[in-house]
């Protein structure tokens, strides 16, 4: 005798109710091609699906009455996954790239770092410039603000500053968004 026997899953798939798991009295039925067959009792819809040796899949559970489709469930899931992969492939995730600076950075080094920031903007990413203070540099925060002002002027044609510089502990940060063309 099994005491902790695993339960059988009541729904097949991630989000869809299939066949006998659909628990409503009436449903709007679509066939494989998407043609409406009308509002039927659930027993009649299941009978239609079994005659065609296919599955009854609930595609719109919040509709009144819920919409079900007569399809091959495995093929249906494959097509849904395929659509999702294509949609994910066509979207660009916007990343925030952080560039560290010092309050006493030389003009040439600053220019090199800001040139790198421009490359990030071309890829459509956000850029966060962070001036890191160490030791006695904390006594002269104005140098950090000057560095960020120079950066704001240098990046004006490709990016816009997101607010004003903010202190977080020993760091002074300013975020930039790329200018959309």
Could you give the percent of the chain with pLDDT greater than 70? 91
Contact yes or no for 103/144 (Cβ under 8 A): yes
161 strand-pairing partners:
176
Tell me which CATH code domain 19-79 carries.
3.10.20.80
> Mean pLDDT for the chain?
84
- Give me the pLDDT at residue 10, please: 45
State the average pLDDT over residues 11-34.
76
Q: Which residue has the higher pLDDT, 180 or 50?
A: 50
Alpha-carbon distance of 55 to 29, in angstroms, equals 12
Contact yes or no for 65/103 (Cβ under 8 A): no
75-105 pLDDT, tens digit per residue, is 888 888 888 888 887 777 778 899 999 999 9
Which residues lie below 8 Å from residue 134, measured CB to CB, with a gap of 6+? 170
Which residues lie below 8 Å from residue 94, measured CB to CB, with a gap of 6+? 124, 125, 126
- The tokens for 30 are 């679509």
Alpha-carbon distance of 142 to 172, in angstroms, equals 10
> Of 7-21, 25-39, 127-141, 153-167, which gets the smallest average pLDDT?
7-21
Residue whose structure tokens are 């998407």 = 34
Instruction: Please determine, for residue 21, whether its predicted confidence score (pLDDT) is greater than 70.
Output: yes
The architecture that CATH gives domain 96-178 is 2-Layer Sandwich (3.30)
- Give me the pLDDT at residue 123, please: 85
Residue 13: pLDDT band (50, 70, 90) is very low
- Give me the pLDDT at residue 71, please: 87
133 strand-pairing partners:
none
Residue 12: pLDDT band (50, 70, 90) is very low
120-169 pLDDT, tens digit per residue, is 988 888 999 999 999 898 898 999 999 999 999 999 898 899 889 999 99
Instruction: Please determine, for residue 14, whether its predicted confidence score (pLDDT) is greater than 80.
Output: no
H or E segment and range at residue 16: none
The residue extents of the domains of the chain are: 19-79, 96-178
H or E segment and range at residue 151: helix 141-154
Angle at 128 between CA 123 and CA 134, to 5 degrees: 140
Which residues lie below 8 Å from residue 105, measured CB to CB, with a gap of 6+? 113, 147
* SS3 category, 153: helix
């Amino acid at each position: 005798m099994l005491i902790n026997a695993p339960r059988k899953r009541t729904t097949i798939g991630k989000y869809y109710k299939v066949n006998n798991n659909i628990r409503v009295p009436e449903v709007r039925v679509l066939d494989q091609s998407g043609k409406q067959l009308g509002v039927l009792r659930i027993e009649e819809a299941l009978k239609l699906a079994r005659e065609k040796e296919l599955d009854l899949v609930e595609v719109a559970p919040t509709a009144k009455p819920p919409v079900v489709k007569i399809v091959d469930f495995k093929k249906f899931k494959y097509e849904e996954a395929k659509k999702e992969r294509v949609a994910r492939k066509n979207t660009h995730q916007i990343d925030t790239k952080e560039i560290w600076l010092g309050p006493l950075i030389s003009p040439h080094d600053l220019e090199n770092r800001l040139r790198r920031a421009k490359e990030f903007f071309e890829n459509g990413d956000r850029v966060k410039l962070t001036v890191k203070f160490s030791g006695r540099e904390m006594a002269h925060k104005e140098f950090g603000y000057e560095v960020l002002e120079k950066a704001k002027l240098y990046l004006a044609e490709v990016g816009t500053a997101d607010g004003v510089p903010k202190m977080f502990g020993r760091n002074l940060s300013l975020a930039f968004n790329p200018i959309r063309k």
